[in-house]
Structure 1
């Protein structure tokens, strides 16, 4: 039986670069989705509920899985089968768990007459869009994992300056920035408490410290 980890590193090919570009796109895509939630939070002054925060956490975890593949290519120039399984496996766990979280929130507002939580985007609430994107990601990850054996140990020229390295660095820095913003946003909303209220109406931290307004 052929090993997924050949002893000799093979020269780069189209599929190897496609896997790398997809990992960059996957990282940037989920990070951008979280930015959409931040826009509704700060731009439209809507407070995310606990399930909203949980979904964001799984979105960022999914991005981190793909980010692991990107970082591996940036630092080593080669992505092994084990690296692909580690990165995409982490993303798969995240999108499956995120699907349950978004499905749970959808079911809370499924009864006729229930207007749902928060605003809509293109006719659907954000948690419904989240469920759709989580499900689509399950399919996408399954496809790229099916081809991982064909790209494992192919060199990915991302260690030298060029578009591959630029895209990878952009994806990782963007992800890190959005994670930091979310940590601060959740802390401000939750304050020094263990739990968020089911229907938050203020930033608890500022209320606790007596910040005016």
Structure 2
């Protein structure tokens, strides 16, 4: 696998992770399903996977960048499995609307598993780590890599902002019913 192919695959992976975060925002904004604290932690896991992918896009593929992705996917997967286990007992309810029969946290567990699998497979191709002696431009000159990077960067900033609006500077409500920071600003006026 060439470094260029690796960078393209990393850009496609970043677009896939961005799609997961974008769909979470659609549910949050269109259906007014505010993410619970565990859902927010899963989003952190997806953004952290994006950090590893982004490093691969910026500086070229490195085993250390893939390690960040593996650690982030293990973290996010463990949070999503914890949420599945909280809701698996009959009568305990669920959180959020199902998507194709599964709840967002179940899909998150599937996605984190696929990230672990894909990252492990990518680690097997050593030729992607060989760099040219010439100075390579950021993103390897790839427009796809630039677009994927900036979409993920925008979603990470949106995630931080919406979490601040929902939770304020303190602990998030479980279950969340409104944007806490906005409510506090309204009551102070």
Q: So what's the TM-score if we normalise by structure 1?
A: 0.81
Residues 168-183 of structure 1: pairs in structure 2 closer than 5 A: 168-183=145-160
Query: Cα–Cα, structure 1 residues 140 and 200, in superposed 2: closer, same or farther, change >3 Å?
Result: same
Which residue among 87, 94, 114 is the counterpart of 2:72?
A: 94
CA shift digits 1:187-207 (9 cap, x unpaired):
1101232x1012010100111
User: Does the 8 A contact of 1:28 with 1:63 survive in 2?
Assistant: no
Report which of the two has the higher share of helix. 2
User: Does the 8 A contact of 1:15 with 1:151 survive in 2?
Assistant: yes
2:179 matches 1:203:
yes
Distance 1:131 1:157 in 2: 39
Residue 29 of structure 1: how far off its partner (Å) = 1.1
Which residue among 51, 55, 73 is the counterpart of 2:42?
A: 55
Which residue among 98, 105, 115 is the counterpart of 1:127?
A: 105
Query: Cα–Cα, structure 1 residues 211 and 30, in superposed 2: closer, same or farther, change >3 Å?
Result: farther
CA shift digits 1:15-74 (9 cap, x unpaired):
32221111111111112111111111111100101000000001010011011010114x
Which residue among 183, 190, 200 is the counterpart of 2:167?
A: 190
Query: Which of the pair has more CA radius of gyration?
Result: 1
For structure 1, the residue ranges without an aligned partner over 5 or more in a row are 1-13, 74-78
User: Does the 8 A contact of 1:61 with 1:94 survive in 2?
Assistant: yes
For structure 2, the residue ranges without an aligned partner over 5 or more in a row are none
User: Does the 8 A contact of 1:159 with 1:165 survive in 2?
Assistant: no
User: Does the 8 A contact of 1:51 with 1:105 survive in 2?
Assistant: yes
CA shift digits 1:132-167 (9 cap, x unpaired):
1101111111110011x22212449973999x5111
Give the paired residue count: 187
2:89 matches 1:108:
no
User: Does the 8 A contact of 1:16 with 1:154 survive in 2?
Assistant: yes
Q: CA RMSD in A?
A: 2.2
2:45 matches 1:37:
no
